[in-house]
């Protein structure tokens, strides 16, 4: 079976990364995680990669806070290409990507965000949804472009907001939905890859 080579990028906890790696390990997902890369040296997501014996690397991001320095972004392209990655999966990667990555992987970079985009891009989207008095929120998987949490939406999952919800309780339920939605979307890419290439 032809497995889709993926690279996972993240800055933090890595719960989505873990869900994806577990699905691959159990044989549910016809993907192969070639590398996990983080812009944070001691990010838990790198520990998760090591736990699953996946190649992993720290990418020094340079002097900017919300993006990679151009040299670092070019280095990221090289790392992913050398690993043979066909689909780049952002899982809590806290930097906006620019031309080097977007040109190298057109429509091959996806992200997950904890809201029903285009509503509530940016940080703590679940808090934004609560503050706005929404009754339904959820999560979205989308292609990545040069704007934050923007780009064509691939799939969404709704999560009801309950009257007694706190930011923490809502966030927890959205994350459960994320851990189902992201592997399901990647599975669709795998099917396409097996049928005809991405």
**Smallest separation, CB 190 to ligand GRF (Å):** 20
**Smallest separation, CB 196 to ligand GRF (Å):** 29
Residue 30 is inside which H or E element, if any?
Answer: none
**Smallest separation, CB 184 to ligand GRF (Å):** 15
Decide whether 147 or 197 has the Cβ nearer to ligand GRF: 147
**Quick one: CA dihedral 136, 137, 139, 143, positive or negative?**
positive
Separation between Cα atoms, residue 165 and residue 171, nearest integer Å: 9
Which residues of this chain interact with ligand GRF, rule CB under 6 A?
10, 12-17, 91-92, 112-114, 175, 178
Catalytic hit among 113, 142, 150, 171: 113
DSSP structure string for 64-104: -SSB--HHHHHHHHHHHHHTT-SEEEESS--SB--HHHHHH
**Smallest separation, CB 53 to ligand GRF (Å):** 19
Separation between Cα atoms, residue 171 and residue 115, nearest integer Å: 10
Cβ pair 32, 60 in contact under 8 A: no
Decide whether 74 or 119 has the Cβ nearer to ligand GRF: 119
Cα atoms found within 13 Å of the Cα of residue 100, Cβ hemisphere only? 16
Select the residue whose beta carbon is closest to ligand GRF and give its number.
92
Decide whether 12 or 62 has the Cβ nearer to ligand GRF: 12
Cβ pair 117, 148 in contact under 8 A: no
Decide whether 30 or 91 has the Cβ nearer to ligand GRF: 91
Catalytic residue status for 142: no
Residues known to be catalytic: 113
């Amino acid at each position: 079976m032809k497995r889709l080579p993926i690279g996972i990028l993240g800055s933090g906890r890595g719960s989505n990364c873990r869900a994806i790696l577990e699905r691959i390990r159990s044989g549910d997902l016809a993907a192969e995680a070639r590398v996990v890369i983080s812009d944070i040296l001691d990010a838990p997501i790198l520990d998760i990669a090591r736990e699953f014996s996946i190649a992993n690397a720290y990418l020094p991001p340079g002097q900017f806070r919300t993006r990679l320095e151009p040299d670092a972004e070019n280095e990221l392209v090289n790392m992913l290409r050398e690993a043979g990655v066909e689909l780049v999966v952002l899982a809590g990667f806290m930097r906006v990507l620019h031309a080097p990555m977007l040109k190298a992987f057109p429509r091959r970079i996806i992200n997950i965000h904890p809201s029903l985009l285009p509503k509530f891009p940016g940080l703590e989207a679940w808090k934004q949804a609560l503050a706005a008095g929404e009754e339904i929120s959820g999560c979205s998987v989308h292609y990545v472009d040069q704007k934050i949490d923007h780009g064509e939406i691939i799939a969404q999952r709704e999560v009801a907001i309950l009257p007694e919800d706190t930011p923490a309780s809502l966030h927890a339920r959205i994350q459960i939905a994320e851990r189902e939605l992201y592997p399901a979307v990647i599975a669709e890419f795998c099917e396409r890859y097996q049928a005809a290439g991405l």
